[in-house]
C-alpha cells in the first residue's frame, strides 16, 4: 500500500466529527508530501527542530500539531506557527506558551494532557491537577492561549479492556470538564487513539486521532 492509499483507507473509516492528525515524525518531507497531495493538512510531530524544518520546507496551509512532550525552553521555536499543542501538562508550560504566543501576536490552541494510563512512565495531569489549573487565577490572565480539549495516551498493552477503560476515563473527565465555565477554555477536542487503537478510541468518544505508522509505515 502507498501512503496515499493508506490515508484514503483510514479517512474512509472515520466518522465525520473525527479529525485525523497524520503523525509524520522521523519521516522525510517527500513522504509527507504524498499525504499532502491527498488533501491531508494536519501533521503531528514530536520534536520541535524537526517540525520547524518541515514547516519551513512545506506548503504554508499545513497545520502543525506538536504531539510530544514540550520543554518550556523550546516553546519559542514553535510559537510563530504551531496550530495545536497536544501535550500541555502544567500551568508553567501554559504560561510560557501564553508569553510566546503574545510575542507573536497569536492565540495558540492547547490540549491538556491527562494521565489515563496505568503505567507510571506516561506524562499527564491527574484530575486534581486539572482542577487546579482550571481554578487558577493565572489562567484568567492568559489571553494568548485557548484550551480547546484534552489529550491522553492509553497503556501500551494488547489488553483491549484495559485500553477501553482508560479511553472511557478520558471521555468522562472531558464530559465533566466541558460543562464547567472556565476562562480561556472551550473544550471541543478529545485527542486519543493511535495506529493500534484508534477505532476503539473513536468508539469511546475520540474526536481526534493521531495516526503514524498505519499511514507512513514503521519507524526505526
Ligand atoms: C508517535 C505517536 C503517535 C503515533 O503512533 P503510531 O502508533 O505510529 O500511530 C501518536 N501519538 C503520540 C503522542 C506519538 O508520540
The ligand 1 site (C-beta within 6 Å) comprises: 23, 25, 46, 67-68, 153, 194-196, 210-214
pLDDT, position 220: 83
Atom of ligand 1 nearest to the CA of 86: 13
Alpha carbon of 219 to ligand 1 centroid (Å): 10
For ligand 1, mutation pick of 210, 215, 219 (most atoms within 8 Å of CB): 210
pLDDT, position 123: 83
Rama region for 49: left / alpha / beta (φ>0; ψ in -120 to 50; rest): alpha
C-alpha cell recorded at residue 212: 503514524
CB atoms within 10 A of CB 188: 11
For ligand 1, mutation pick of 212, 213, 214 (most atoms within 8 Å of CB): 212
pLDDT, position 122: 61
Q: What are the φ and ψ backbone dihedral angles of 35, each rounded to 5 degrees?
A: -70, -45
Render each residue's pLDDT in the chain as its tens digit; 220 residues: 799 999 999 999 999 999 999 999 999 999 999 999 999 999 999 999 999 999 999 999 999 999 999 999 999 999 999 999 999 999 999 999 999 999 999 999 999 999 999 877 668 999 999 999 999 999 999 999 999 999 999 999 999 999 999 999 999 999 999 999 999 999 999 999 999 999 999 999 999 999 999 999 999 8
How far apart (Å, rounded) are the C-alpha atoms in residues 93 and 78? 13
Where would I find the beta strands (DSSP E) of the chain?
Answer: 19-23, 42-45, 63-66, 84-88, 108-114, 145-152, 185-191, 208-211
pLDDT, position 121: 65
In the chain, the N- to C-terminal Cα span, in Å, equals 19
Amino acid at each position: 500500500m502507498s501512503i496515499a492509499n493508506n490515508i484514503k483507507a483510514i479517512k474512509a473509516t472515520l466518522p465525520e466529527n473525527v479529525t485525523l492528525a497524520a503523525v509524520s515524525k522521523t519521516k522525510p518531507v517527500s513522504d509527507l508530501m504524498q499525504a499532502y497531495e491527498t488533501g491531508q493538512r494536519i501533521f503531528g510531530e514530536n520534536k520541535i527542530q524537526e517540525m520547524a524544518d518541515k514547516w519551513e520546507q512545506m506548503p504554508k496551509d499545513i497545520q502543525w500539531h506538536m504531539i510530544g512532550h514540550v520543554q518550556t525552553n523550546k516553546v519559542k521555536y514553535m510559537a510563530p506557527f504551531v496550530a495545536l499543542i497536544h501535550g500541555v501538562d502544567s500551568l508553567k508550560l501554559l504560561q510560557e506558551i501564553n508569553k510566546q504566543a503574545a510575542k507573536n501576536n497569536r492565540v495558540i490552541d492547547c490540549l491538556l494532557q491527562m494521565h489515563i494510563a496505568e503505567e507510571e512512565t506516561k506524562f499527564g495531569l491527574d484530575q486534581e491537577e486539572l482542577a487546579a489549573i482550571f481554578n487558577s487565577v493565572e489562567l484568567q490572565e492568559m489571553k494568548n492561549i485557548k484550551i480547546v480539549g484534552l489529550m491522553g495516551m492509553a497503556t501500551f498493552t494488547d489488553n483491549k479492556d484495559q485500553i477501553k477503560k482508560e479511553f472511557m476515563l478520558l471521555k468522562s473527565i472531558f464530559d465533566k470538564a466541558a460543562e464547567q465555565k472556565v476562562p480561556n477554555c472551550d473544550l471541543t477536542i478529545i485527542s486519543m487513539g493511535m495506529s493500534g487503537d484508534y477505532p476503539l478510541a473513536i468508539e469511546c468518544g475520540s474526536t481526534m486521532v493521531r495516526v503514524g505508522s498505519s499511514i507512513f509505515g514503521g519507524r526505526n
